[in-house]
Chain A
C-alpha cells in the first residue's frame, strides 16, 4: 500500500484546522487578558493574577472530574452537594476525629456518593442530569437541616494553611491542583482506562459492541469526579477558613462551562486535560472582570447560559454536517 504524503497546501489546511479546533479557552484567555488590560489594568498585575490563579484552584480541581464525566457522555451536577457536605463534615465538629482521619472520611464519603450516582446511572440507566441533581438536592437538604442543630465552625488548621499560605508571593493552593492534575492527566493519556474513555466518548455504541467495560468506566468516572469534588472542597474550605452554607454553589455549572470551553465536547471523544484547566482560570478571571465592571451575578449566569447553549448548538451543527 502506498502512502500519500500531504502536499504543502494540505498541510497548511491541516494547520488551519487544528488552530480552529483548538479549545476556545486558549484564545478566550488571551482576549480576556487584553480586554482587562485596556479596561481595568489593575486586574492584570502579577500579584492579582496569582490571587486569581489561587481562586481558580477549586474550580480547576472539580473540572478534572467533570471533564472525565463529559468524556464518557455523562454529567455530574452533584459536585455542589458533595462540597457542601464535606464542608459541613470538616467544620461543624459533628464527627470528632483527628484532622487526617477526618480528611480520609471525607474522601470515602465522596467515593460513596460517586458510586451511588454511578449505580443509578449505569444500573438503573437513569438520566445522569436528573440523578446527580437529585443527589445534590438530598445532600444540601440534609446538610442545611442539620446545620440548624449545629452551625458550621472553623476549618481544620491544615486546610487553612493549604488555602491561605504562600511561598514568597506564590500561593501554595495551585500546587495541590498540580499534584492531582499531573498524575491524572498522565494516567488518562497513557493508560488503557484513558483509551477506553476516548473510545466511549467517540462512539458509545461501537465501544459497547467491541466489549469495552462500559459500565465500569462510567462508574469509575463518577467515583473519581465525586472524589475530586471532595479535594476541591478541601481547598475551598481552606480558603474561606470556615464552613458556610453556600460554599461551592456555583461550581457544578461553572465546571460544566469550563469543560465545554476547554474543548471537551459531548460525544466526540476529543479533548485533553489542559484545555479545561485553562478554561477554569479563564472563567474565574472573567467573573472577576465582570465584577470589576460592576456586573455581578446576573451577568455571570447569563454568560454561562449563553456559553452552554452556543457550545452545544455548534457541536450539534458540526455533527450534522
Chain B
C-alpha cells in the first residue's frame, strides 16, 4: 500500500504519525524488560480501549471542523448512570442521555451558531455537574453482564481488544465505505460547497455530534464494566487526551483531513507513553504534564488562519 505523505492528503497521515509510536515501542523494548510480556500488552489494550473509542468519536466531529470538549463529562455521566439505574435498562438510559447531549451540542453549533469549543465547554461543565449530582461518591455496583462484557476474553482474545477491533471496524467502514463518510470529508473541506452540492450540512453536523457523544457513552459503559464502579470524575482527562490523540494522528482540527489509521496510531502513541512512564516508575502526574506538552506540539502542526478561540 502506498501511503501519501504530502500535506494535501485527505488522510492527514505523515511520516511522524507512524514513526513516533514505532520509536516509542522500540525504546520501551530496550528500556523495560517487562514491556513485551503478555500481561503488560494486555494492560495496554485495556488502558487504550476507552480512549480509542472516544477518539474515534472525536475524529468524526473533527472531520467536519468541529470539536467536542464534553466527551469526558459524557463518559463520566455514563458510568454514573450505569450504577444508579436498574441494570436491565441502564445501558439504554446511558445511551439516550448521550444522544440527548449530542443533539444539544449539535443544534447549538449548527442552528444557533455557537462556536463548537464554547458550546461543548458549556455542556462539559453542565454534564460534569449532573454526574456529580447523580453519583457524588465513586463506587456502586455494576451488573455482572456488563462486567463480563468488558473483561472476559472470547476465544482467548482479551475483551478490550475486541472492543477496539469493533470500534475501529465500525468507524473505518462508516468513513470509507459509505456515502455518509465521504460527505463528512466534503463538509470539512468546505461547508458552503458541500451544501451547494446537495449535502444536508446541518443534519450531518448534528449527527456527527451525536455519534461523538454516543462513542463517549459506550466508552463509559466499557469503563464502568471494567472497573465495576461508577465515578463522576473518571472521564476528566478524556477531552484533552482524545484531542491530543487525534492531533497526533494527523487529523486536522480545521476539518476535512483525518483517518481511522491515524487515530489508532495517535491513541497507541499516548497509550505507550503512559504505559512506558508507569513501567519506568515516573510519577503519573508528570504524565499529565507530558500529555499537555504533546498536545501543544501536536496542535503546532495544524494549519489555521484565525487568531483566538
Q: Which residues does A use to contact B, with CB under 8 Å?
A: 72-75, 120-122, 124-131, 133-142, 144-145, 148, 204, 214-215, 218, 253, 266, 297-306, 308-309, 312-313, 316-317, 319-320
| Cβ–Cβ contact A299 & B133, under 8 A | yes
Q: CA–CA, A289 to B136, complex, Å?
A: 20
**Given A312-B119, A313-B108 in contact, is the A302-B292 Cβ separation under 8 Å?**
no
CB distance from A5 to the nearest CB of B (A): 37
| Cβ–Cβ contact B295 & A130, under 8 A | yes
| Cβ–Cβ contact A125 & B307, under 8 A | yes
Q: CA–CA, A130 to B117, complex, Å?
A: 9
Q: CA–CA, A134 to B290, complex, Å?
A: 10
Nearest A residue to B288, CB-CB = A141
Which residues on the B side are within 8 Å of A122 (C-beta)? 307
Q: CA–CA, A128 to B292, complex, Å?
A: 14
CB distance from B5 to the nearest CB of A (A): 22
| Cβ–Cβ contact A141 & B127, under 8 A | no
Pairs A–B under 8 Å by Cβ, sample size 15:
A73-B308, A121-B307, A129-B309, A130-B240, A134-B240, A134-B295, A137-B240, A266-B115, A298-B130, A298-B133, A298-B136, A308-B118, A313-B112, A313-B114, A319-B113
Q: Which of A138, A215, A306 contacts B126 (CB 8 A)?
A: A306
| Cβ–Cβ contact A300 & B129, under 8 A | yes
* Residue in B132, B296, B302 whose Cβ sees the most chain A Cβ within 10 Å: B296
Q: Which of B124, B136, B304 contacts A126 (CB 8 A)?
A: B304
| Cβ–Cβ contact A126 & B126, under 8 A | no
Judge if B227 is at the interface, Cβ distance under 8 Å. Answer: no
Judge if B195 is at the interface, Cβ distance under 8 Å. Answer: no
CB distance from B301 to the nearest CB of A (A): 9
| Cβ–Cβ contact B117 & A141, under 8 A | no
Majority-rule SS of A interface residues? helix
Judge if B305 is at the interface, Cβ distance under 8 Å. Answer: yes
Judge if B293 is at the interface, Cβ distance under 8 Å. Answer: yes
Judge if B26 is at the interface, Cβ distance under 8 Å. Answer: no
Q: CA–CA, A135 to B126, complex, Å?
A: 23
**How many residue pairs, one in A and one in B, have C-beta atoms under 8 Å apart?**
160
Q: Which residues does B use to contact A, with CB under 8 Å?
A: 69, 108, 112-115, 117-119, 121-130, 132-133, 136, 240, 243, 253, 283, 285-293, 295-296, 299-300, 302, 304-309
| Cβ–Cβ contact B129 & A126, under 8 A | no
| Cβ–Cβ contact A138 & B112, under 8 A | no
Q: CA–CA, A30 to B240, complex, Å?
A: 38
Which residues on the B side are within 8 Å of A133 (C-beta)? 240, 295
| Cβ–Cβ contact B308 & A72, under 8 A | yes
| Cβ–Cβ contact B113 & A316, under 8 A | yes
Which residues on the B side are within 8 Å of A298 (C-beta)? 129-130, 132-133, 136
Nearest A residue to B304, CB-CB = A125
Which residues on the B side are within 8 Å of A74 (C-beta)? 307-309
**Given A134-B296, A302-B126, A313-B108 in contact, is the A144-B285 Cβ separation under 8 Å?**
yes
> Which 5 pairs show the lowest CB-CB distances between chains A and B?
A305-B126, A141-B289, A301-B129, A137-B292, A141-B288
